[in-house]
Chain A
Amino acid sequence: MAKTIDARNLTRIFGDTTAVDNISFSVDEGEIFGLLGPNGAGKTTTIRMLCCLISPTSGSAIIGGYNIADREGAMNIRRMIGLVPDNVGLYETLSAYDNLEFFGKMYELPDGLRRENVEKYLKLVDLWDKRDRAVGSFSKGMKQKVAIVRALIHDPKVLLMDKPTVNLDPEAAKGIRDLILQLRKDGRTVLINTHNLDEAQRMCDRIGVLKTKLIAVDTPQNLERAISGTQTVVVLEEVNDDILNAIKAVNPKDIKRDGNKLIIDVNNPEKETPVIINAIVSAGGKVISANRIGASLEEVYLKLVKE
């Protein structure tokens, strides 16, 4: 699959502070890629470099075949991308329609297509009926929707979204997430900055964990698998003291009993879990199932950013 975004050794230094340190990643066409990281991890700086608002101190990125460090390339990139910034940045006294008309004109859309797109996208986000209301009177969710429509108005191939659901209520956030998933169906490439793990897990095809440096890049499932949990759930036909004593003899970190289900926590699951299962069977236990509890993305994330 073609790489729509290809960042190579991107670095940005502000004075004595390195905001983004030598990061490389690529985003395929039609992929949703999430940049996940704590506050101050360099997510916004990365997006700003990719949409040519600030220049990298070193390194480069190619978007749709154009280099962000190249003057003419940057202008072509701006035509090709849509940005949903951290702050909606709409003209509050103007109506939603006038805001979108203005930005449509700045993107040099012909009159017919511009009006068609304003109508199409405002209908998509259920704001067509409110198009003539001043944006200042809108709720945060509605403003965010208008900001997303603004980013879509010129039908960009690439969408860069900086925390698109931050400060939104759950319903509004779900609406935005559904819209982003719809955009992927339409074949657009989406790069999302977020510190919302649940959101990243639900939407992103791949996730890059960023903490100034890019710590890991993979699918949410692979990240979870890579850092598995240390607990195993063993379901037995019957649990008795002999079985519990046999397990305790192996010295696990913790044992929790819930009826015939045991949750056993060990230091080294690869080595200790087979020994425990063996001990259970030797004590006369009949094992119905044994499953290791995988780490949640949250655990993976916390582990990665703390390292």
Chain B
Amino acid sequence: MRKSTLSWSRSETMKFWKAWIIAKKDLSILKRRKTLVGLIMALPLALGIALPSLTYYLMIRRNIPLSMATELLASFAFFFMIIAALLPLYISSYSLVGEKIEKSLESLLVTPVTDEEILIGKYIGAFLPMIISIYLGEIVFMALADFLTFTKLGYLFYPNWSFGIAMFIGVPLAIIYGISFSVLVSSKVNSVQSAYQIGATSLIPFYVLYVMGEINLISLTSSTNILLISAGLLIAVVILYLVSKKTFNREKIIMEWK
């Protein structure tokens, strides 16, 4: 008796436009979830306002030394990387578990679509709103930080190399890392709640790095370290994508998703 396997879709070449159609569909659904969109947009924006305001308060009211203020400002680049890894949990957890809940995946899987097209579509659908929201928060953050600290510092702190590397390399990779992790988790669980809870463990490496930064084991303001962390994220992303692809089992999805 032949062992039951299902890897039919893997013989077809990936059509990027199909992934884009899936992403656009996910974005259309997201647009209608106003609370979720509000949360995604509000959190980076709130950070973009709160962090410069805090720095300003410490500089003006607590008179912290300028060197400490600049160190503090520089460390916020890592904050945005943490948020970049955290927020995709909310979208990408919904994107697969939501298909389970609406039982729409069976109809999608019966179309001539490959596993890669579905996965890449899910990635793009979660990545775009994230990057827009975090870049918006970062732009507000830089503008406000410069506005509030210019008179004290005597120069514009932002933009700088460290923040640029975090913004253009670290943040996109952190988003993809968060998406990869939650796509992997959400293909194994049956509720959005479980996907959030298990997905939140993806942040542990960031917390560890943050603590290491706090006890001066590592500098999270150094461009080199941000680049190294980004490289680590890249490796994690590649591994997670390969594991997601390998474990994206149509048969299991059909039979076990209730």
Contacts and interface: CB of A to CB of B under 8 A. Distances in A.
Nearest to A154: B111
Nearest to B101: A92
Nearest to B21: A105
A83 B29 contact: no
Interface string A175-187: 0000000000000
Contact of B29 (A75, A79, A93): A93
A106 B121 CA distance: 12
Interface string A77-95: 0110101010111111110
A103 B2 contact: no
B254 A79 contact: no
A53 B7 contact: no
Given A58-B2, A71-B7, A106-B113, A53 B33 contact: no
Given A14-B255, A54-B255, A58-B1, A78 B112 contact: yes
Contacts of B5: 55
Nearest to B29: A93
B111 A94 contact: no
Interface residues of A, number: 41
Contact of A51 (B22, B105, B110): B110
A94 B110 contact: no
Nearest to B111: A106
B102 A90 contact: yes
A232 B21 CA distance: 64
Contacts of A14: 255
B101 to A, nearest CB: 9
A237 interface: no
Interface in A57-103: 57-58, 69, 71-72, 74-75, 78-79, 81, 83, 85, 87-94, 98, 102-103
B21 A55 contact: no
Given A75-B12, A78-B112, A93-B33, A53 B106 contact: yes
A106 to B, nearest CB: 4
Interface in B168-217: none
Interface in A31-68: 48, 51-58
A21 to B, nearest CB: 12
B102 A107 contact: no
Contacts of A90: 102, 104, 107
A79 B112 contact: yes
Contact of A108 (B105, B108, B112, B251): B112
A219 B12 CA distance: 40
B222 interface: no
A150 B11 contact: no
Contact of A93 (B1, B10, B32, B251): B32
Interface residues of B, number: 35
Contacts of B25: 91, 94, 98, 102
A193 to B, nearest CB: 14
Contact of B104 (A11, A72, A91, A107): A91
Contacts of A93: 29, 32-33
Contacts of A51: 110
Given A55-B4, A89-B102, A93-B32, A83 B107 contact: yes
Contacts of A75: 8-9, 11-12, 112
A277 to B, nearest CB: 56
Contacts of B112: 75, 78-79, 106-108
Contacts of B103: 85, 87-89
B250 interface: yes
Contact of B106 (A55, A58, A89, A98): A89
B110 to A, nearest CB: 5
Contacts of B28: 94, 98
Interface string B213-229: 00000000000000000
Nearest to A160: B110
A102 B21 contact: yes
Contact of B107 (A92, A103, A105): A103
B245 interface: no
Contact of A103 (B8, B12, B29, B111): B111
Contact of A53 (B32, B102, B104, B109): B109
Interface in B66-113: 102-113
A47 B140 CA distance: 54
Contacts of B22: 106
Contacts of B11: 71-72, 75
Given A55-B6, A72-B11, A105-B18, 15 more contacts: A13-B4, A48-B254, A53-B251, A57-B4, A58-B2, A74-B8, A85-B107, A89-B102, A90-B107, A93-B32, A94-B29, A94-B32, A102-B25, A107-B112, A147-B107
Interface of B: 1-2, 4-12, 18, 21-22, 25, 28-29, 32-33, 102-113, 250-251, 254-255
16 contacts: A52-B8, A53-B254, A54-B6, A54-B250, A58-B1, A71-B10, A74-B9, A75-B12, A78-B112, A85-B107, A90-B104, A91-B25, A93-B29, A94-B29, A103-B111, A106-B111
